Amino acid sequence: MYKSDGTTTTSVLKNLPQWLTKRHVLFALALATSLLLLFSFNSWGPEVHLPHVTTGTADAQKSASSNSDNGVLRPQCAGRDKVASLNLWDESQSKYSGLMDDKFTIAIQTYRRPDELNQTLHLLTDNVIPSLHEIVIVWNDLESTPPPNFVSAHGVGVRYRVSRRNSLNEKLFPDPEYKTKAILLSDDDVHYPPADLDFVFQTWRKYGRHRLTGAFARCVDTPRGPGSYQYSLCREKGRSEYALVLTGLAFAHIEVLDYFSSTDPLMTRLRTAIDEHFNCEDIALNFVSSMLSCEGPLEVHGMGLPVNTEPKSGISRKPGHAKLRNDCLRDFSDWFGYMPLQNTTERIVQGILAI
């Protein structure tokens, strides 16, 4: 066997010093080989946690002229450029550049459901969630005084914010006291398992920071052709695409909330409709988010299942709920002048890959 210097392994072994035998050399080579293999196996590891990604089938194409924010492409698209107030959108994007990017805030809206709120709040404050900065309770009961603010045993501040009025828009308000770019919108009866929250947040940072990223996907059908929109729970067997994620448990960038709460006439019209119907705030924010990002939402799950207790007093239990949401889909698409929602099959689920 030839080495790079023209010598052979045999000649090297013949010219060894007297005190160094062939047995010593072979033993040393065997030891080195064993250490190398051991190092390689340890580097690979027995198990690693990896996300499972299914690529979407209808995601917006990103142009070469796209803007970039922290490495995330911001595609140009005709719908947004035609409908959105771009000056207001530019202001919303630049306004929050100084907020924390490596932490998130949970905004929980509640109205006279102390049992559900306390159960969710205790779960979030009793567990260590490294990236959680603050929990803000959006207090919509204007006739009662909320409890005092406090700091959990793990150093997470809990702040009660009394709403300006009892409105579903209040949860989507860009609180000027927010310190983070990421806002996890939440109802008082819904939550991710605490152990999964950091994974979902980091997934939002990497893959969905300009999209609504959440736990519960919903579908939009057109049973009678274009324009005949029908809201559904995506329960058809074999169905994989979806177009919405519920804001009962979803991450949103504060800049999207800021634009939604702006003086843009279309945003004002959406907020007015939400107050009139006391419904459809999640559909509206999906419209706005998909318009601004030119992408569909993103469904993300951790190792456990998200919890939704669905109390009997919930809005979704009221008669006419399904028809109202169909009406919102139709009306909103008319107001936008096009349908910004996009079907996608993208999902990210935390799992274990054994090697």
3-class SS at 192? coil
Q: What is the CATH number of the domain that holds 278?
A: 3.90.550.10
Rounded Cα distance, 160 and 149, in Å: 6
303 domain residue, yes or no: yes
Token pair listed for 241: 């695409």
62 domain residue, yes or no: no
288: burial class by Cβ within 10 Å (0-12, 13-18, 19+)? buried
354 domain residue, yes or no: no
Residues written for the chain: 355
User: Backbone phi, then psi, for 71, in 5-degree steps?
Assistant: 85, 0
What is the domain extent for residue 257? 80-345
Q: What is the mean pLDDT of each run of 10 residues along the chain (355 residues)?
A: 43 47 52 40 32 36 38 61 95 96 99 95 97 99 97 98 98 98 98 98 96 97 87 91 98 99 98 97 98 97 91 62 94 96 96 78
351 domain residue, yes or no: no
130 domain residue, yes or no: yes
Residue-level pLDDT at 18: 53
Going by C-alpha positions, the residue among 314, 250, 255, 309 that lies closest to residue 279 is 314
Rounded Cα distance, 181 and 145, in Å: 29
Residue 285 near residue 252, CB atoms below 8 Å: yes
Residue 72 neighbours by CB under 8 Å, 6+ apart: 209, 210
C-alpha triplet 46, 51, 57: angle, nearest 5°:
145
Residue 243 near residue 219, CB atoms below 8 Å: yes
Number of other residues whose CB lies within 10 A of the CB of residue 46: 8
Residue-level pLDDT at 321: 87
3-class SS at 250? strand
Residue 218 near residue 232, CB atoms below 8 Å: yes
DSSP β-bridge partners for residue 183: 105, 252
- SS3 helix, strand, coil % of the chain, rounded to 5? 35, 25, 40
Residue-level pLDDT at 312: 59
Residue-level pLDDT at 207: 96
133 domain residue, yes or no: yes
Rounded Cα distance, 315 and 321, in Å: 8
Most distant pair of Cα atoms in the chain: their distance: 97
Query: What is the number of domains present in the chain?
Result: 1
Rounded Cα distance, 14 and 260, in Å: 81
The H or E element containing residue 259 is: helix 254-260
195 domain residue, yes or no: yes
Rounded Cα distance, 235 and 294, in Å: 26
Residue-level pLDDT at 225: 81
Residue 60 near residue 73, CB atoms below 8 Å: no
The H or E element containing residue 218 is: strand 217-221
C-alpha triplet 8, 14, 18: angle, nearest 5°:
140
